[in-house]
Amino acid sequence: MNKQPLRERFPNITRVPHHVGIVMDGNGRWAQARGLPRLAGHKAGTDNIRRVLQAATELDIKVLTIYAFSTENWGRPPEEVAGLMNLLGEVIRRETRDLHANGVCIRHSGRLEGIAPHLQRQIQEAVTLTSENRRITLNVAFNYGGRAEIIDALRHIMRDGHAPEAVTEALISQYLYTGGLPDPDLIVRTGGEYRLSNFLIWQAAYAEYYATPTFWPDFDEVELATALEEYSRRDRRFGKVPQPGPGQAAIVSPQ
In percent, the amount of the chain with pLDDT more than 70 equals 93
- Determine the residue type at 79: E
Asked if residue 254 belongs to a domain, the reply is no
CATH of the domain at 184: 3.40.1180.10
DSSP string for 106-159: EEEES--TTS-HHHHHHHHHHHHHTTT--SEEEEEEEEE-HHHHHHHHHHHHHH
| pLDDT score, position 250 | 41
HSE, side-chain direction, 13 A CA sphere, residue 119 = 18
Asked if residue 60 belongs to a domain, the reply is yes
Distance (Å, rounded) from C-alpha 160 to C-alpha 163?
9
Average pLDDT in the 85-98 region? 94
**Which of helix, strand or coil describes residue 85?**
helix
| pLDDT score, position 253 | 38
How does residue 252 score in pLDDT terms, banded at 50, 70 and 90?
A: very low
- Catalytic residue among 12, 25, 160, 198, which? 25
| pLDDT score, position 235 | 87
Average pLDDT in the 149-157 region? 98
Asked if residue 96 belongs to a domain, the reply is yes
Q: Which residues contact 101 (CB under 8 A, 6 or more apart)?
A: none
Residue 128 pLDDT > 80: yes
pTM: 0.91
| pLDDT score, position 206 | 95
Q: What's the pLDDT tens digit per position in 64-73?
A: 999 999 999 9
Asked if residue 1 belongs to a domain, the reply is no
Q: In the chain, how many domains are there?
A: 1
Asked if residue 6 belongs to a domain, the reply is no
HSE, side-chain direction, 13 A CA sphere, residue 193 = 16
Asked if residue 251 belongs to a domain, the reply is no
Task: Establish whether 152 is a catalytic residue.
Answer: no
Q: What's the pLDDT tens digit per position in 136-151?
A: 999 999 999 999 999 9
Q: 189 - beta bridge partners?
A: 23, 211
The CB density around residue 32, as the number of other CB atoms within 10 Å, is 13
- Catalytic residue among 73, 86, 102, 133, which? 73
Asked if residue 38 belongs to a domain, the reply is yes
Q: What's the pLDDT tens digit per position in 203-248?
A: 999 999 999 999 999 999 999 999 999 999 998 776 666 665 544 4
Residue 173 domain boundaries: 17-230
Asked if residue 238 belongs to a domain, the reply is no
Distance (Å, rounded) from C-alpha 197 to C-alpha 152?
18
**More reliable by pLDDT, 241 or 31:** 31
Task: Establish whether 73 is a catalytic residue.
Answer: yes
Average pLDDT in the 197-205 region? 97
